[in-house]
Every structure is written in C-alpha cells, then in structure tokens.
C-alpha cells in the first residue's frame, strides 16, 4: 500500500463548481471552461501514488495547479470531487476534530514565502506546532532548540523573523516543520524565493536531513534542476492535468509529450544520468575493446567520469559497491544518452 494515494481529484474554483463538473468530465479544456462558465479548473482528474520515505516532486509552471494539489494533502483546500487516502484513511471523511489532530501530528508544511509568524521569536515559531500539540513550554523549547541546531541557526533563537535573511527565515520554516515530528512533510515551492547559492545550500541540507529522517516529502517546484536533484519520483502537471509521473531519468529519457519535452530540453543530462542507466549489461556486450578500461561506480553521474573518457578515449567498466562488473559504457552509449532529443 502506498503512503499517500490521490484518486481522481477534481478541483474547480468558482461560485458553483458542481455545475461545471460534467463539462470537465466530458473533456473540456481549462480555457473552454473558463470562457463558458467563468470557473477555473484547478485540478483535472489527478491520480497518483506516493510511497513511504520517498521525496515526490510535483513540478509545473505557475498556474498548473501544483500548489492546489499539495494543499489537498492537508486539506487546506477541499477537492470538488475525489479522495485522498493516507495510510489507508480517506482524509476527506475526517471531521474537523480529526483533521486538526491530523495536521498537528502527522503532516507539516513549509511555505514559499516562509509563512513565519512575525510577532513570535524564532524559538516560538519553531515551537508553534508543538504548542498546537499541547506540549508544555519547557518541552517545546527543548525540541525547538534541537531543530534550530539541526538547521544551523544556533544563536538566533531569540531574534524575530524580520531580523533574519531569506535563507535563514526558510531554515526557521524548515525547523518548524521538522519539530512536530510528522511523517509527512509538504514543501510548497520552499526554496523558490531564495537566491541560487542559498537555494542549493538548502537543497543539500534538506537531502542530508532526509537521509537520516526518511520522511515522506512532497515537494513542489517549478525548477526542473531542483526536482531532478531532490526527487525520487517526479510528477509533471500542466493546466491541472498530470501529464507524466516517473523517476528523474524516465522524465529525461522518455518525455511523455511536447510539454515535458520543452521542460527537459535544456537539462544538463550529464548531471542527472547515472552510469548504471546507460550501461550495457555484461551479457549483452560482445566485442568491446577491453584493453583500455576505466572503472566507474554504478551510481556515479556521467558528469563525474566524462572528462576522463574524453582525455583517454577509453571505455568504461561499471562496477557495484563490492567491485563486481555490472556492465560497460562505450562512446556510443554516451553519445546517445547525451544527445538532446
């Protein structure tokens, strides 16, 4: 069973969403619906599964419905139709008590513009979720301090959010989300408002935290590089429809349609594709020149061993952790994987 299952979600914004449902089901596009009824289609029959412990990145341009989608998971937005099942429970059927309990303990969120409380100190901000859980102030401060240390903000705990830089503010947001010890974390364009250097810093930090914590993270972004870097799986949304779900390599190697193609066109493939993806397996290979071989680990990105190959004009031998040969890479494979489709 998947951790999160989203089944046939429709979301229509407007005065009378139900009246438009039939039209949307019959396959009218977003523009048609808007023109004829004045309703905006936010999500159009979206279904997906997210596994426990993975980072699922939801990608799309602005207006594609990605922020709407993520808000369905903690019901900041209710769908017009469809269900969201988390750990086997349909959260659409929760009453407001259960929902509140759910939000306090199971799911936390990081916001694009941080969503910090300007009248509370960093410590109080981080402890907010714990306060909602009903913990005493001493407990709150203790856990909050741990999380503040985890994101590297020691010494700033008594400052107010406005006294911090953007990157530091988002660290507070991250610490706040981590503090409740929820198993699901929603990140709504969490790093989009940060400048590139700080953004990559934060990505690194998130990845290292995630490697310890193994939370289920749903990450929203419009930045393909970010999604390739962070995502175990990526879902691409266009005009409220989910056009493709797959691993980063899937998306790059087999884009489902022109929209996805346009997205991945400018990606630096050498940065994303690992050796094991493009290698030819041992049993498929014959007649390779084995006189001049370079050993490459299977999880290495092409980028890392490409310069060596170019200089020595050698072939690669791909090995796993214990040194067993898994396959070979020749110039031909390199060429086909790096050529833009």
Between 165 and 324, name the residue whose CB sits nearer to other proteins.
165
Residue 332, CB half-sphere, CA atoms under 13 Å: how many? 4
Candidates 80, 180, 210, 238: give the one binding other proteins (CB under 8 A).
180
Candidates 25, 119, 204, 290: give the one binding other proteins (CB under 8 A).
119
Q: Residue 233 has which token pair? A: 């799986």
Q: How far is the CB of 71 from other proteins (least distance, A)?
A: 8
Candidates 61, 100, 262, 282: give the one binding other proteins (CB under 8 A).
100
Is residue 276 within 8 A of residue 305, CB to CB? The reply is no
Residues 44-83 close enough to bind other proteins by CB under 8 A: 74, 76
Between 28 and 108, name the residue whose CB sits nearer to other proteins.
108
Which string of DSSP letters, residue by residue, matches 89-103?
EEGGG--HHHHHHHH
Between 162 and 313, name the residue whose CB sits nearer to other proteins.
162
Angstrom distance (rounded) from CA 243 to CA 259: 8
**118 in contact with other proteins (CB under 8 A):** yes
Candidates 86, 116, 122, 172: give the one binding other proteins (CB under 8 A).
116
* Region label for 292, one of left (φ > 0), alpha (ψ between -120 and 50) or beta (otherwise): beta
**115 in contact with other proteins (CB under 8 A):** yes
**13 in contact with other proteins (CB under 8 A):** no
DSSP state, residue 232 = S
For helices 30-37 and 17-25, angle between their N-to-C axes, nearest 10 degrees: 140
Is residue 144 within 8 A of residue 192, CB to CB? The reply is no
Between 61 and 100, name the residue whose CB sits nearer to other proteins.
100
Query: Residues in the chain, how many?
Result: 341
Q: How far is the CB of 103 from other proteins (least distance, A)?
A: 4
Residues of the shown chain interacting with other proteins in the complex, contacts defined by CB under 8 A: 74, 76, 100-105, 107-109, 111-119, 128-129, 132-133, 160, 162-163, 176, 180, 186
């Amino acid at each position: 069973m998947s951790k999160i299952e989203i089944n046939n979600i429709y979301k229509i914004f407007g005065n009378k969403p139900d009246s438009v449902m039939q039209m949307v089901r019959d396959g009218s596009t977003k523009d048609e619906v808007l023109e004829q009824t004045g309703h905006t289609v936010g999500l159009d029959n979206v279904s997906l599964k997210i596994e426990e412990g993975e980072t699922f990145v939801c990608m799309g341009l602005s207006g594609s419905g990605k922020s709407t989608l993520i808000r369905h998971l903690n019901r900041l937005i209710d769908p017009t139709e469809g269900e969201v099942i988390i750990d086997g429970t349909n959260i659409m059927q929760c009453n407001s008590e259960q929902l509140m309990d759910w939000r306090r303990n199971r799911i936390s969120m990081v916001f694009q513009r941080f969503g910090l409380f300007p009248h509370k100190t960093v410590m109080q901000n981080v402890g907010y979720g714990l306060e909602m859980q009903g913990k005493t102030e001493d407990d709150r401060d203790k856990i909050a301090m741990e999380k503040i240390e985890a994101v590297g903000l020691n010494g700033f705990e008594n400052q107010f959010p406005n006294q911090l830089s953007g990157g530091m503010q988002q660290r507070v947001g991250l610490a706040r989300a981590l503090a409740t010890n929820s198993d699901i974390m929603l990140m709504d364009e969490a790093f989009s408002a940060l400048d590139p250097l700080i953004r990559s810093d934060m990505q690194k930090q998130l990845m290292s935290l995630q490697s310890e914590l193994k939370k289920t993270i749903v990450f929203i972004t419009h930045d393909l590089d970010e999604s390739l870097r962070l995502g175990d799986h990526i879902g691409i949304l266009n005009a409220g429809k989910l056009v493709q779900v797959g691993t980063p390599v899937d998306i790059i190697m087999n884009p489902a349609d022109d929209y996805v193609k346009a997205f991945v066109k400018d990606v630096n493939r050498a940065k994303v594709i690992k050796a094991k993806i493009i290698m030819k397996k041992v049993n498929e290979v014959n007649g390779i020149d084995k006189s001049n071989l370079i050993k490459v680990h299977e999880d290495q990105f092409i980028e890392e061993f490409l310069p060596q190959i170019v200089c020595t004009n050698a072939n690669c031998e791909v090995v796993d952790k214990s040194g067993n040969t898994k396959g070979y890479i020749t110039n031909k494979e390199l060429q086909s994987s790096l050529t833009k489709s």
